[in-house]
């Protein structure tokens, strides 16, 4: 992390601020109260504020605060060879898949406990698919999301009807369901070089922009005992050229492709959820991430909770689209930051899950003018896979396999 508080211009891609910082990519923040960052209202039980900034063209870092949990996390994201990233941290889509499967696991376990159903073993396999089609140069490039697929591998004495009812009701009770089923239109504010501007095609957020987080990222300190276990790279992808999903393929101006992200979730003896995340299309590395609900909400708070991962994924994916669009057009965008609020219902309640449209305050530094800044915002929303997931009504498919 730069010691002067300023992220390097995004054109510098041979530097690796995440590794150079000497800090683990994920850690609980010890001094969150000293940062002077205000929190949103907690509308439905689990609101999450994300402050995020670019470090390089594809590296991002974020301060993520789930309001009710009383903890704050520093999370980081990077892209692999397909976007000429440095592969120093999981890609943005990994965060959403991790959060979804963690939430589903939490809801199934909570409902099983309420119904006194013994589960001897439970493994969840989550597959998320996305699409990207069109031309960045013509402004038709558009990201899409397909229905997620959840396989529940389970060992229990519950009969088939009771097991089907348990799993389907748990999935409906997850806050994820609030993102998937309705059509949620994200709203934005835009600040360019410190000046507040009207947005373009995207929906406007009818309130003042949240302040730029500035250099607060450089002041965070890890809490005691943070050893980097929360995220571990298990298998590093080899950069390949001339193959589908290989090096640089996601930077092409013309695209017609589908993405595939998988997460496999198990619960450790200490009740922390362990998620193995695979990026199959494009070709990416495999990471292991840990997730745990907050103390008093079904966990111990030793790792980021499900909604924190989902909120971080939304912010990181949107920011990747900002950086990628500027890179494809070969236009200048020195730095960019976002302040994002996501509002979810409380997990473990047994009631249908709900969520609100994400609210994002975008701060751009660019010498390319106001029209280009609006164009970047419009195209980032249009091409963001996770904003597509929110604005597209989706019904998850569920498969139950007995172990």
70-122 per-position pLDDT tens digit: 899 999 999 999 999 999 999 999 999 999 999 999 999 999 999 999 999 99
Residue 242 contacts by C-beta under 8 Å, 6 or more apart in sequence?
A: none
235-282 per-position pLDDT tens digit: 999 999 999 999 999 999 999 999 999 999 999 999 999 999 999 999
Residue 165 contacts by C-beta under 8 Å, 6 or more apart in sequence?
A: none
The CATH fold of domain 17-402: GMP Synthetase; Chain A, domain 3 (3.30.300)
CA gap 254, 285 in Å, rounded: 24
338-387 per-position pLDDT tens digit: 999 999 999 877 789 999 999 999 999 999 999 999 999 999 999 999 99
Q: DSSP of 24-83, one letter per residue?
A: -SSEEBS-GGGS-------SSEEEEEEEEEESSSS-EEEEEEETTTT--EEEEE---GGG
pLDDT at 353: 95
pLDDT band at 6 (very low <50, low <70, confident <90, very high): very low
pLDDT band at 9 (very low <50, low <70, confident <90, very high): very low
pLDDT at 78: 97
297-320 per-position pLDDT tens digit: 889 999 999 999 999 999 999 999
CB 141 within 8 A of CB 329: no
CA gap 112, 117 in Å, rounded: 5
pLDDT band at 11 (very low <50, low <70, confident <90, very high): very low
CA gap 128, 245 in Å, rounded: 16
| pTM of the predicted structure, to 2 decimals | 0.95
53-71 per-position pLDDT tens digit: 999 889 999 999 999 888 9
pLDDT over 70 for what percent of the chain?
97
Burial (CB count within 10 angstroms: exposed 0-12, middle 13-18, buried 19+), residue 159: exposed
CB 346 within 8 A of CB 69: no
Torsion from C-alpha of 329, 361, 101, 118, nearest 10 degrees:
180
Q: Which residue has the tokens 């299309």?
A: 281
- DSSP code of residue 295: B
Q: Does 168 have pLDDT greater than 50?
A: yes
Q: Does 2 have pLDDT greater than 90?
A: no
Q: Which residue has the tokens 């998320």?
A: 128
Mean pLDDT, all residues of the chain = 93
pLDDT band at 14 (very low <50, low <70, confident <90, very high): low
Q: Quick one: tokens of 176? A: 């994820």
CB 95 within 8 A of CB 308: no
Q: Quick one: tokens of 129? A: 């698919």
Phi, psi of 108 (to 5 degrees): -65, -45
Q: Does 227 have pLDDT greater than 90?
A: no
């Amino acid at each position: 992390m730069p010691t002067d508080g300023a992220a390097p211009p995004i054109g510098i891609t041979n530097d690796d601020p995440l590794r150079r910082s000497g800090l683990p990519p994920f850690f609980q923040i010890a001094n969150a109260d000293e940062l002077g960052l205000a929190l949103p209202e907690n509308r439905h039980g689990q609101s999450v504020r994300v402050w995020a900034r670019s470090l390089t063209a594809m590296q991002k870092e974020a301060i993520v605060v789930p309001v009710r949990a009383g903890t704050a996390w520093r999370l980081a994201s990077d892209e692999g060879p397909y976007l000429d990233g440095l592969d120093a941290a999981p890609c943005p889509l990994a965060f959403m898949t991790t959060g979804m499967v963690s939430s589903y696991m939490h809801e199934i376990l909570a409902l099983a406990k309420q119904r006194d159903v013994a589960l001897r073993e439970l493994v969840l396999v989550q597959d998320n698919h996305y699409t990207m089609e069109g031309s960045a140069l013509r402004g038709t490039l558009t990201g899409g999301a397909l229905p997620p697929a959840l396989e529940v591998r389970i060992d229990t004495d519950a009969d088939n009807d009771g097991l089907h009812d348990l799993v389907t009701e748990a999935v409906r009770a997850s806050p994820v369901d609030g993102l998937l089923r309705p059509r949620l239109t994200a709203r934005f504010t835009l600040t360019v070089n410190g000046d507040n501007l009207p947005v373009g095609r995207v929906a406007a957020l009818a309130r003042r922009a949240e302040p730029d987080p500035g250099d607060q990222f450089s002041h965070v300190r890890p809490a005691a005992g943070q050893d980097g276990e929360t995220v571990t790279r298990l298998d590093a992808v080899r950069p390949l050229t001339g193959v589908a999903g290989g090096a640089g393929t996601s930077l092409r101006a013309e695209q017609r492709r589908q993405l595939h992200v998988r997460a496999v979730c198990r619960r450790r003896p200490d009740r922390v959820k362990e998620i193995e995340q695979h990026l199959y299309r494009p070709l990416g590395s495999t990471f292991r991430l840990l997730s745990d609900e907050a103390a008093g909400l079904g966990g111990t708070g030793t790792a980021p909770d499900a909604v924190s991962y989902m909120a971080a994924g939304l912010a990181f994916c949107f920011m990747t689209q900002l950086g990628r669009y500027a890179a494809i057009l070969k236009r200048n965008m020195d730095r960019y930051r976002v302040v994002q609020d996501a509002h979810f219902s409380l997990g473990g309640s047994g009631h249908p899950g709900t969520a609100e449209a994400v609210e994002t305050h975008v701060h751009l530094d660019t010498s390319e003018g106001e029209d280009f800044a609006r164009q970047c915002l419009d195209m980032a929303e249009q091409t963001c896979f996770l904003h597509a997931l929110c604005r597209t009504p989706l019904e998850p498919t569920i498969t139950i396999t007995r172990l």
